[in-house]
Chain A
């Protein structure tokens, strides 16, 4: 077990190094991708800064708390963009062009290769920017208990795993359906639900985004751990849910592969 983990860890390090060298090759692209996300951050921040000029509270939180929520979201999104997004965004392309054949033939887990083959190292700059905003938001909070940050060591990985599993299942449909690009675009709309605090939604919908389409665990649950008294049941659910989702994503992948017919010539 340990030997396998060590093998996959060193393989990931090698893949990360290769990705970094490849990303540096196109420097303008490298910089534009950082600029793109800066616009995205500004849009998110500006939306709430403007709205809070006209209302003291949105959902359960005030402006200072909303800034923390945005900070958590930027950090989780930054990690997701670095580690996973490029792989999952190009999933259907790999299936259509027959690149999946090569990955299936390798002596490593195909889900691992498909999910982690390419790291977007340009996004490290975005993660740093997101982290800077997060620290600023925490410092602006009156009487913040810094020990609460320890919750993030558990809840951010859980949020990332949930995000990954949902996105992976969505991307895997490319193996079953020939053209599923627009199904992938639906994913971005679902993901957007998680980019708003769960407390802005009506109770039944809030329950939905914490269970059925659990985008609420991505940023809302870690933010609650920082801003509100501990909700043990909710945090335990986030951990259990991450386990369930990763298991289901693997099951779905094996199921989807049964429909796969090679596309390469």
Chain B
């Protein structure tokens, strides 16, 4: 039992390392992906908040000053970059769509864990590299940030990534039944974009929409960790987010397991 767990860990660590090495192979591409893109997004969002406060009649919105919102926009763009999965979801769909999933089905590991470890490896290195930017900006402009809260915020973010991957697994499983499911990824990511809180803090929404959206596990992608990091939320919200992700994980993984099992049974391999 102990040996098989060690093998499992070693194997998944190898997948994670593979993801890190293959992403760092094209350094310019990686630099653009991890640094330039979120920096530009941050700039655009921060400019919007400057304009919002320039037109506002008071110095505070929902009890927070301009600096809090600038800090939220800054961290929000980087957390959003971490909690979104495009590349690996596309690859998972492609494997099933093209038939090359055959070669994975016969290996001593699951399709889920193969891509999960790669996603985690990629997100780990991206977090490490890209977080340099918000940290430097926060220090330079003295934006409100509780650095001591970073570990818990990241723990929540990486727990949320398990849910993100599980959703990707469900979407990839759709490729067993339908052709051209790539557009599902776009639709899903845009819906999550709305529900994670990247665009604005979710508590600015009117009721009852606000309570509903915050209760969903997707708020753990950006709103809760960034809100906690910038002092907008307290630890109770983080605990609540951990619980809602857990519920989401159970539901999504049950659905994923069912769809995968049925899908493999109806699947006719076309790949080599």
Question: Which A residues have a C-beta under 8 Å from some C-beta of B?
Answer: 26, 28-29, 32-33, 35-36, 39-40, 42-43, 46-47, 50-51, 53-59, 179, 181-183, 185-186, 189-190, 192-193, 196, 199-202, 205
Contacts and interface: CB of A to CB of B under 8 A. Distances in A.
Chain B interface main SS type: helix
Given A32-B187, A43-B199, A193 B44 contact: yes
Contact of A55 (B29, B40, B57, B184): B57
A199 B51 CA distance: 9
A77 B62 CA distance: 33
A56 B55 contact: yes
Contacts, number: 111
B194 interface: yes
B179 A200 contact: no
Contact of B37 (A28, A39, A186): A186
Interface string B191-214: 101100001100011100000000
Nearest to A42: B194
B137 interface: no
A35 to B, nearest CB: 5
Contacts of A26: 179-180
A55 B194 contact: no
A181 B190 CA distance: 20
Interface residues of B, number: 40
Given A43-B199, A53-B204, A58 B52 contact: yes
Contacts of B178: 28
B233 interface: no
Nearest to A188: B37
A220 B36 CA distance: 25
Contact of B183 (A36, A47, A57): A36
B47 A200 contact: yes
17 contacts: A26-B179, A28-B180, A28-B181, A40-B190, A46-B194, A46-B205, A51-B52, A51-B204, A54-B204, A179-B26, A182-B37, A185-B33, A189-B44, A192-B44, A196-B47, A200-B51, A205-B47
